[in-house]
A and B are shown apart, each in its own frame.
Chain A
Amino acid sequence: MVASANSDGFVVFDGVQKSYDGETLVVKDLNLSVGKGEFLTMLGPSGSGKTTCLMMLAGFETATHGEILLDGRPINSVPPHKRGIGMVFQNYALFPHMTVGENLAFPLEVRGMGKSDREKAVKRALDMVQMGNFINRRPAQLSGGQQQRIALARALVFEPELVLMDEPLGALDKQLREHMQFEITRLAHDLGITTVYVTHDQTEALTMSDNVAVFEDGRIQQLDPPDVLYEEPRNSFVAQFIGENNTLDGVVKEIKGDACVVELDGGALIDAKPVNVSKVGERTRVSIRPERVEASRDRLGPDAHLIQAEVMEFIYMGDVFRTRLKVAGNENFIMKTRNAPDQTRHNAGDMIEIGWMPKDCRALDFPS
């Protein structure tokens, strides 16, 4: 899947732009296609344009330019209540003056569904989120997690084909959040609903989604399945934003196919995989995941790149060790090693030799 328009997607953004003030674009030429039944997450820092895109899809914002298609139909001029899209809001937006049952019945009522059908559908939806006993409670009497489930049930009760979720787990504590991540994914897949999910939490994005679109500066920086996104970030923003990353700045010395040589600012030469560099002499930022750095030569392949490092700090974290190193002038170079029986614990001041595979060392664009 690539970040270009694909007109046979279930949801399609085709050259969409959005500006609030007529001077700056919040969303710049967005092209995106979401397949039917797909779970797509829009991930990005705040102000990156992801929520605006969601609001345009829901119909609460209008696109300044470009077309949004739903199931092949352009929906720019369709008002929100006619789009038939379920939505879960950041603060749940459960109507405080209605009971849980009334909240769930609301979308059915406005669709003119009869009373008995309505009751059945509400019960089914509540059972689906294991909240059947709470039908007569008011939202204020529920915990955050319970409210979350009700909001989810309400967005699903009228059986929409598309559900939008705007940072729905932001207000929950970590444990509950992890549990809900799982439940939402399960429900979405069981029901076969197309889901567009907005979050700034990368763990959420990685664990839940079929595809993740990383937003920054009004553009999609990368649209890929979670593993690709993590393993193969296409530019330095994505590399920096997703997961933890060691960066070393330098200049490209040589490019040979899918390998290149970078001269770091400290003078050392390293091998890297050219991802976002095109010519010799270009400044580049090289990124290596901390868990792909090894201090033991046994764990590295024969063509691993080796380099001297000074241990600055050793942090014991239980399942892993974090070792902060000084590498090629960078004092914040992190090495993450599994707490295995044979793993060495280094002391500050030790001089050690570390290494990585050149394919894990990605030469990316130098951020301007």
Chain B
Amino acid sequence: MAMADATDQHGAPTDSKGRLLTSDGTPLRRALERANRRRKLTALALVGPLLAFILIFFAFPIAQMMWRSVDNPQVVDALPRTLEALQAWDGRDVPPEPVFAALHADMMEDLDRTRREQKFGPLGIRLNYELSAARSAISRTARSVPGFEAPYRDAFTDAHRLWGQPELWRVIKREGRPLTLSYYVAALDREYDEFGDIVKRDENRRIYVNLFGRTLALSLAITFMTFLLGFPIAYYLSILPMRHANLLMIAVLLPFWTSLLVRTSAWIVLLQQQGVINNTLVALGIIGDDGRFSLIYNQTGTIIAMTHILLPFMVLPLYSVMRTIPPSYMRAAKSLGATPWTAFRRVYFPQTLPGIGAGGVLVFIISIGYYITPALVGGQSGRMISNEIARHIQQSLNWGLAAALGTMLLVGVLVLYWLYNRLVGADSLKLG
């Protein structure tokens, strides 16, 4: 108080500029800032580890994936001279001799590199994505290139037929840039024509757009099925006494705790044509022996299996929302004259919407990215885009295409989430 210059009309000390002071004379604002700074540091310390974890193990890999979908170093690295010589080429005919000479020089230089450093292996693989057999054109030529003598054009065209076709050269020129869109072009079932325009692929090579559509449809079907099965079960759980509810909850969660192999075998035993369900139906005379249903190795199999696996993701948010809806609402509605159905529809159901939203978003997003189960029980018609992404990552090793497909999937999910947010509002999600 002694340090204060004055007091304001409420008796609090102020300094000469009229700013409020604390009892020991520090300006109130600064004291407040100091107190807040400590709180911010505490918050950062609490959130920090997770933030770092997410950055390193989530944000960074995703950024890397997106980068990979446009990263295109192979041609630029391997063929600097050739690309320069191709600058003047009109793209119509087989390029002139200087281009072949430049190619020869590039190849000779590559042969001097150590095995790990050689650029032509990756180049062949990269070009083969755009043009079949381009890889063997490169690798076979590379073996014999030290024996080549001018004029190189004939030597190259003799070594592999593709060198004599403008197609390969157009690919080299087009992909001779550090960044490419060609993975996205392929992921959209499109390709470059001879004029460099993007056109649709041959009908019999289009798969991805179709698969995206089917993934969307299957995921929606799975989401709807989990809702259909999960809603009554969640409702029943929510009105049961806690200890009974826990018991039933274990039954719902059981699929979580069973190994994938056990689950898959169980589905096969149940669902196949000679399986339990079909045998029972035949034994009961409901269907004939030649009218057995195909319940597995097709979309039905995927929907059944995924519904089974993802049911808990629908039930848990629904249950946690329903648990908070007191039974008095339904009673109130009935006492006000609503039939049980009207009471459910007008009063109970609207209040479960946050749970349905959360469960639906969870199930939908998870099922869009699921690939193990569809691969095992989906046959061909029950496969989804993730299976194709996994195949490109693990088997064909076309990581660029996998990254492009993955990025499109990610963007698609974000767009859907944005739409959901616009229509329903993400803040209404209740995850538990």
Q: A81-B339, A106-B346, A110-B342 are in contact. Are A93 and B328 (CB under 8 A)?
A: yes
Asked if A132 is at the interface (CB within 8 A of a chain B CB), the reply is: no
Judge whether A84 and B329 touch: CB under 8 Å. Answer: no
Judge whether A97 and B328 touch: CB under 8 Å. Answer: no
Asked if B337 is at the interface (CB within 8 A of a chain A CB), the reply is: yes
Judge whether A106 and B336 touch: CB under 8 Å. Answer: yes
Complex interface bits, B324-342 against A, C-beta within 8 A gives 1, otherwise 0: 0010110111111111101
Judge whether B337 and A107 touch: CB under 8 Å. Answer: yes
- Interface hub of A80, A82, A85, A90 (most chain B Cβ within 10 A): A80
Query: What residue in chain B is nearest A85 (Cβ atoms)?
Result: B335
Complex interface bits, A95-122 against B, C-beta within 8 A gives 1, otherwise 0: 1110000000011001100000000000
- Interface hub of A85, A89, A111 (most chain B Cβ within 10 A): A89
Q: A58-B331, A87-B332, A110-B342 are in contact. Are A93 and B337 (CB under 8 A)?
A: no
Nearest chain A CB to B228 CB, angstrom units: 23
Judge whether B326 and A95 touch: CB under 8 Å. Answer: no
Interface size (B, Cβ < 8 Å)? 19
Q: A81-B339, A81-B340, A106-B346 are in contact. Are A93 and B334 (CB under 8 A)?
A: no
Judge whether A93 and B346 touch: CB under 8 Å. Answer: no
The secondary-structure label for the interface of chain B is helix
Q: What A residues does B328 contact at CB under 8 A?
A: 89-91, 93
Asked if B298 is at the interface (CB within 8 A of a chain A CB), the reply is: no
Judge whether B329 and A95 touch: CB under 8 Å. Answer: yes
Asked if B105 is at the interface (CB within 8 A of a chain A CB), the reply is: no
Judge whether B332 and A93 touch: CB under 8 Å. Answer: yes
Taken together as a complex, chains A and B put the C-alpha atoms of A96 and B324 apart, in Å, by 12
Judge whether B346 and A80 touch: CB under 8 Å. Answer: no
Query: What residue in chain A is nearest B353 (Cβ atoms)?
Result: A97
Interface residues of A in 34-75 (CB under 8 A from B): 58-60
Judge whether A96 and B351 touch: CB under 8 Å. Answer: yes
Q: What B residues does A106 contact at CB under 8 A?
A: 333, 336, 338, 346-347
Judge whether A97 and B350 touch: CB under 8 Å. Answer: yes
- Interface hub of B331, B339, B342 (most chain A Cβ within 10 A): B331
Judge whether B350 and A158 touch: CB under 8 Å. Answer: no
Judge whether A110 and B351 touch: CB under 8 Å. Answer: no
Taken together as a complex, chains A and B put the C-alpha atoms of A84 and B335 apart, in Å, by 7
Other than the given A87-B335, A106-B338, A164-B335, 15 more pairs (CB < 8 A) read A81-B343, A84-B337, A85-B335, A86-B335, A89-B331, A93-B328, A95-B329, A95-B332, A95-B347, A106-B333, A106-B336, A106-B346, A107-B338, A154-B336, A158-B336
Residues of chain B whose beta carbon lies under 8 Å from any beta carbon of chain A? 326, 328-329, 331-340, 342-343, 346-347, 350-351
Residues of chain A whose beta carbon lies under 8 Å from any beta carbon of chain B? 58-60, 79-87, 89-91, 93, 95-97, 106-107, 110-111, 154-155, 158, 164
